[in-house]
């Protein structure tokens, strides 16, 4: 199993705490403030070296302590591995994997679902872009460097626009932006089409859900589909000078969930939207496998948040069918979770 156990020492409210995962599908139950989200944060930090809740990782150190340690044991193929992350108040974050032959890129990747991700359909485009970039950079690491170069060129062009630079200087950064932007847009579309196939494969054929008939994901590249990027940048230059930033390009890309060519947020209920988002996250494992990447570890915090009883039952019916590891958290079992027999197939950890 990708993650067999988790060890937390001086990590937020936990001291010398070991959590064992004996089943591929687990639900962690506890009252508010019991540390459920902290466990989610610890797993994510182990693999990303970033905190889900704080910009400064020092904030994760338990009050009164001068360090934290987070460790995990798991299985990769037939080999056991350990991953350890330490942070001292006066030192940089340390992270290592044992044995050495186990590489970070070979490990299953955690995919975390927080309340923000549950706004994937009706939330701001930034939420969808952040979600998509996490997937894109994982399956196509070379696009991360391309995106960085594009962002740097975009920053320089915006600076020139804001400072009222001459057309000659703006043209230099426009040409740079064009070259990088066209490459980035092609990469975005390629990854999106692959992800779209996984969503279509997972969400529709395997389930008898009438309200998802006609579901389609539509890519919006960040400028008018009828024009080339060079033409759009030229036409909008005067307006961009007035605003001080670049209006069009792959940095403005988005994607929408459509039902019969209408935006899903206008058709689906709140509960149906949440279910669709969770089912979309289930499809990520197929997407990773199709891209020849290790499986995902799906982590869902606060499972029953804004999910009505009917749609919760649909989702719980899908979890046992998944091959990848799934870890969920929720408050003390409510009536829905108590009644649902499917919960019996999950390992329960009570905090």
On whether the CB atoms of residues 66 and 89 are closer than 8 A, the answer is: yes
Query: What's residue 214's pLDDT?
Result: 84
- Give 74-114 pLDDT, tens digit per residue: 998 888 999 999 999 999 999 999 998 888 888 999 999 99
Same CATH fold assignment for domains 5-120+293-350 and 125-266? no
How is the beta sheet containing 326-330 ordered, strand by strand? 109-113, 296-300, 326-330, 25-29, 347-350
| Spatial CA neighbour of 308 closest among 350, 282, 266, 278 | 278
The CATH code that applies to domain 125-266 is 1.20.1050.90
CATH superfamily of 5-120+293-350: P-loop containing nucleotide triphosphate hydrolases (3.40.50.300)
pTM as predicted? 0.92
Least confident window among 13-22, 55-64, 316-325:
316-325
- Determine the average pLDDT of the residues in 103-130: 93
Looking at residue 350, the DSSP 8-state letter turns out to be E
Residue 283: Cβ within 10 Å count: 20
pLDDT > 90 in the chain, percent? 74
More confident residue, 194 or 213: 194
Domain boundaries, the chain: 5-120+293-350, 125-266
Asked whether the predicted pLDDT for residue 1 surpasses 80, the reply is no
- Determine the average pLDDT of the residues in 201-219: 75
Q: How far is 316 from 337, CA to CA, in rounded Å?
A: 9
């Amino acid at each position: 199993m990708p993650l067999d156990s988790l060890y937390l020492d001086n990590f937020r409210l936990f001291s010398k705490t070991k959590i064992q995962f004996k089943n591929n599908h687990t639900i962690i139950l506890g009252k508010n403030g019991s540390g459920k989200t902290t466990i989610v944060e610890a797993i994510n930090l182990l693999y990303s070296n970033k905190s889900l809740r704080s910009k400064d990782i020092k904030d994760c150190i338990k009050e009164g302590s001068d360090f934290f340690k987070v460790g995990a044991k798991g299985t990769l193929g037939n080999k056991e591995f350990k991953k350890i992350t330490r942070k001292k108040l006066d030192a940089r974050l340390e992270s290592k994997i044992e044995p050495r032959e186990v590489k970070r890129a070979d490990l299953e990747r955690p995919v975390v679902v927080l309340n923000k991700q549950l706004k994937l359909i009706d939330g701001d485009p930034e939420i969808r872009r952040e979600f998509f970039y996490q997937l894109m950079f994982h399956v196509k690491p070379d696009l991360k460097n391309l995106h960085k170069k594009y962002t740097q060129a975009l920053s320089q062009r915006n600076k020139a626009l804001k400072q009222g630079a001459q057309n000659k200087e703006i043209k230099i950064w426009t040409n740079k932006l064009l070259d990088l932007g066209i490459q980035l847009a092609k990469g975005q579309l390629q990854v999106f089409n692959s992800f779209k196939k996984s969503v279509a494969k997972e969400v529709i054929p395997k389930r008898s859900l009438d309200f998802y008939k006609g579901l389609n994901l539509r890519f919006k590249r960040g400028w008018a589909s009828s024009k080339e990027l060079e033409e759009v940048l030229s036409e909008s230059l005067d307006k961009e000078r007035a605003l001080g930033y670049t209006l069009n390009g792959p940095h403005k890309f988005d994607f929408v969930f459509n039902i019969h060519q209408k935006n899903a947020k206008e058709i689906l209920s709140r509960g149906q939207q949440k279910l669709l988002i969770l089912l979309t996250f289930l499809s990520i494992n197929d997407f990773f496998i199709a891209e020849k990447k290790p499986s995902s570890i799906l982590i869902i915090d606060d499972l029953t948040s804004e999910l009505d009883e009917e749609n919760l039952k649909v989702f719980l019916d899908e979890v046992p069918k998944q091959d990848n590891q799934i870890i969920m958290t929720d408050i003390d079992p409510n009536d829905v979770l108590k009644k649902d027999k499917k919960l019996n197939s999950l390992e329960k950890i009570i905090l």
